[in-house]
Amino acid sequence: MVSPPSLSGLHHVTLPVTDLDASTAWYTRVLAGARVPALDHHDAETGRYSVVLALPGVAIPVQLRLAPEAAGTAAAYDPLTLSVSDRAELDRWAAHLDACQVPHGSVVEARMGHALSFHDPDGTMLRLYTEPVGGFDAILKGR
């Protein structure tokens, strides 16, 4: 068997949306995303169809792409799970989501810690998850 070439990391995550401006505003307000206008995607027919956001504490960008036919298809699936340091931080997030009037579930005990789920304006499930004790490296080395 031939080994594949190496990977150097995760480049970005793309989420489909129905309204690019409304979703950009929501991700900015709720997750403190900062739009990177130099990375906007445009085409001659439809104009701007994608924006890229930098989220505080997240090493890779999140791209919001205008794709109405795909938006909302992940209501019961979490394509984006973000790390938080501990359970207390999840409680702070729950309070923040309440202040932003974003409905969310309860903090639950999950496989490797605790989690909190909520949905973006298109119904895509997003999840906040506590980092595993010792980090993922400790878990992956023990496989």
| Long-range contacts from 109-115, C-beta under 8 angstroms, 24+ separation | 112/139, 113/87, 114/87, 114/90, 115/81, 115/90
| Chain length of the chain | 143
pLDDT given at position 94: 97
pLDDT given at position 73: 83
Q: What value does the mean pLDDT take over residues 13-31?
A: 97
Using the predicted structure, report yes or no on whether residue 8 has a pLDDT greater than 90: no
| pLDDT per position as a tens digit, 42-93 | 988 878 999 999 999 999 999 999 999 999 887 778 889 999 999 999 999 9
Give the whole-angstrom CA distance, residue 8 versus residue 139.
20
Residue 37 dihedral angles phi and psi, to the nearest 5° = -55, -30
Using the predicted structure, report yes or no on whether residue 106 has a pLDDT greater than 90: yes
Residue 121 dihedral angles phi and psi, to the nearest 5° = -60, -25
Amino acid identity at 12: H
| pLDDT per position as a tens digit, 24-52 | 999 999 999 999 999 999 988 878 999 99
Give the whole-angstrom CA distance, residue 140 versus residue 1.
23
27 CB contacts (<8 Å, ≥6 apart)?
33, 53, 55, 62, 64, 120
